[in-house]
Structure 1
Amino acid sequence: MDLPGCDPGRLERTYAQFALVNRAIAGWHGIYRARVRPRLSPDSPTSLLDVGCGGGDVSVLLARWAARDGLRLEVTAIDPDPRAILFARGRHAAEGVTFRQSTAAELIEAGDRYDVVVSNHVLHHLDGLPAFLAESASLSRGAVVHNDLRRSPAAYALFFASSWVFTGSYIRRDGLTSIRRSYTAAELAAAAPAGWTVARHAPFRNLLSLDTSRGGYRARPAANG
């Protein structure tokens, strides 16, 4: 689905079906309660950046949960793929989330910063994990939480057995590839720079997190070349 020439109809169905998958098994409600909600206030707004937002469903869920709890959360969701942003804006136009076609590097260049930075299912796509983590840390003045798949034979077998229902999209093929590409908890801990923490999260997730509010971490951009 990342290829520029992929079928647009199948791609739109993929974005739509990802909303069902993420709601069912990505574990974001628990992450919201434990990692995001304690930082929110009913009186002053908290800013949150969702990096690599895809179809925008996770961004919208976070905004909805905060509004339901009477808390003020301003969500900005970015993705470099114009197809993702077009879908997200069309599907979630009235949801109180700002969707922008952008990269994290472009936001850093503009001087933007956010109280909380999150991503969903991004880490296993990356060739340059340290550079991405440095960017997300630079954009955060509070917390960073990256939620990604945790590779295991059980996760692959369960998705293989259940994903046949997602017809007409790229979910099954890309999902199985993503599980194979994802990290175990030990692998992710070894790959992440000092200061980052890896925690297992059900079902079959890794949470890679960083507290930037205490000033003890200084993100260093990856060297060119």
Structure 2
Amino acid sequence: MTLAAREPGLAEVMDGPCDEARLFATYRHFALANRVVSGWRRVYVGRVRPLLAARSAAVPARLLDIGFGGGDIPRALAAWADADGLRLDVTAVDPDERALRFARGVDRGGRVRYRAASARELLAAGERFDVVVSNHVLHHLGEAERGALLADSAGFGARLIVHDDIERSRLAYAAWAVGALPFAADSFAHVDGLRSIRRSYAARELAALAPGWRVERMFPWRLLLVRATHSGDDPVGRRVSRAERAVLARDL
């Protein structure tokens, strides 16, 4: 398999009617994978935390996660902000009622507000957010849906938007093909992870489809589609200083 071109026509099992027990196992397995490779801790330390720290403590910042799936990313972001003593109100939306049942079932503390809704519904209701994020959503979308996601996420008036997704590569495919084998028996993580990689973008492809956004590569095999207006975000091409690298290394 060359992976030279993406395969948007592939359907992932978890996106359609499927066994709910295996779907919930898939959410749990993907949460583990996200901790290892998704890079959200780096995104939080380098981008979200400086924004929160610069705000007045009187009013909590508001963060929206679009397409939360198992909900592990919004829960992690909320926990990191709490650990840093920063006020962050987290809302997570996903139109799939199964995702809502799973996320509410595992989030015993109720730190995140989960809603079975679309970003468009919140936008129509006049909601505003300081930070908008998504994880592994872009590659699931067709052209019209992708355009709607970008337009909607930009419509909330956020100072920072980060859509985090997989970068399609043969090495990523080979690593998941072997590394996810233990998940094959009780979930869809193995087959859907491989299909996700085949549906995902190369950096140049995503850049061509998202004018006005910045595409950044992040190790390992990640693409960040970013739009930011706050001064804490690094502009394109700025070199990170040795001191900044030391801070990031200590916090990761």
List per-residue Cα deviations over 1:170-215 (Å, max 9, x = no partner). Answer: 101000000000001111001102x20000011100000112569x
Which residue does the alignment assign to 2:248?
A: none
Higher percent of residues as strand: 1
Which one has a bigger Cα radius of gyration? Answer: 2
Which residue does the alignment assign to 1:221?
A: none
> Which of 161, 167, 171 in structure 1 is aligned with 2:189?
171
Provide the alpha-carbon RMSD of the alignment.
Answer: 1.3
CA distance in 2 between counterparts of 1:183 and 1:140 reads 26
CA distance in 2 between counterparts of 1:84 and 1:190 reads 31
Task: Please report the TM-score for the alignment, with normalisation by the length of structure 1.
Answer: 0.91
CA contact (8 A) 2:213 2:225 kept: yes
Higher relative contact order (CA 8 A, sep 6+): 2
Which residue does the alignment assign to 2:22?
A: 10
- CA drift at 1:143: 1.1
> Which of 134, 149, 159 in structure 2 is aligned with 1:132?
149
For these two proteins, the number of residue pairs brought into alignment is 212
State the 4+ residue runs in structure 1 displaced beyond 6 angstroms: none
3-state DSSP class of the match of 2:180?
helix
Which residue does the alignment assign to 1:31?
A: 43
> Which of 77, 92, 109 in structure 1 is aligned with 2:92?
77
5+ residue gaps, structure 2? 1-13, 232-252
CA contact (8 A) 1:137 1:212 kept: no
Which residue does the alignment assign to 2:235?
A: none
Instruction: Give, as a single letter, the amino acid of the residue that structure 2 aligns with 1:209.
Output: V
Task: Please report the TM-score for the alignment, with normalisation by the length of structure 2.
Answer: 0.81
3-state DSSP class of the match of 2:91?
strand
List per-residue Cα deviations over 1:70-97 (Å, max 9, x = no partner). Answer: 1111110110000001110111031411
3-state DSSP class of the match of 2:190?
helix
Instruction: Give the 5 Å matches for 1:36-185.
Output: 36-41=48-53, 43=57, 44-127=59-142, 128=144, 129-166=146-183, 167-185=185-203
CA contact (8 A) 1:60 1:95 kept: no
CA distance in 2 between counterparts of 1:16 and 1:204 reads 21
5+ residue gaps, structure 1? 215-225
